[in-house]
Amino acid sequence: MSDRPSENRVRPPSWLRRHLKRIGVLRSALTVGILLTVFCAPFARVDADYEGWTAITALVAPVLATISIFVLLLDILMCQVFSLEKPPEARQDYRYIMRSNGMLLGLVVLSWLPFAVAIFGG
C-alpha cells in the first residue's frame, strides 16, 4: 500500500486543469450553465407549455440563453476594461477569457438562432 493518496485519484487532463485555472471557478460554472442551455436548444418549443418538463425547454431555457448572451457580452467588456490596467504580460489571461467567451457567445447564438427565427417569424 502506498502512503500517498494522490496516486488513487483520477486527475483531469492537463489542458483542462490549465483552462480551469485561467478562467476561474465562477466562469467555469457559467460555462457549464451555458452549455446546458445550448444542449436544450434543439428541444425548444415555440408553443408555450406551463406544466411538466416541457416548460423547461419552452420557457426557462430560452430565457436563460438570452440572459447568458448579455452576461457573456458584459464579461467580455469587463475583461477588456481590467486588462487595460494590467501590464502587457498579465493581459494574456484576459485575452484568453475574451476568446473563450466569444466562442461561447457564438455557440449560444448559433444554437438558438432557429428558435429565434421561429418565434419572430423569419
What angle, 0 to 180 degrees and rounded to 10, lies between the N-to-C axes of helices 14-40 and 91-120?
Answer: 20
pTM: 0.82
Residue-wise pLDDT for 47-75, tens only, equals: 877 888 888 888 899 999 999 999 999 99
**pLDDT > 90 fraction of the chain, expressed in percent and rounded:** 57
- The confidence score (pLDDT) of residue 2 equals 54
Burial 22-54 (b: 16+ CB within 10 A, else e): ebeeebeebbeebeebbebbeebeeeeeeeeee
Helices (H), the chain: 14-40, 54-55, 61-84, 91-120
Q: Return the domain boundaries, the chain.
A: 12-120
Query: Given a cut of 80, is residue 6 above it in pLDDT?
Result: no
Helix (H, G, I), strand (E, B), or coil: what is residue 42? Answer: helix
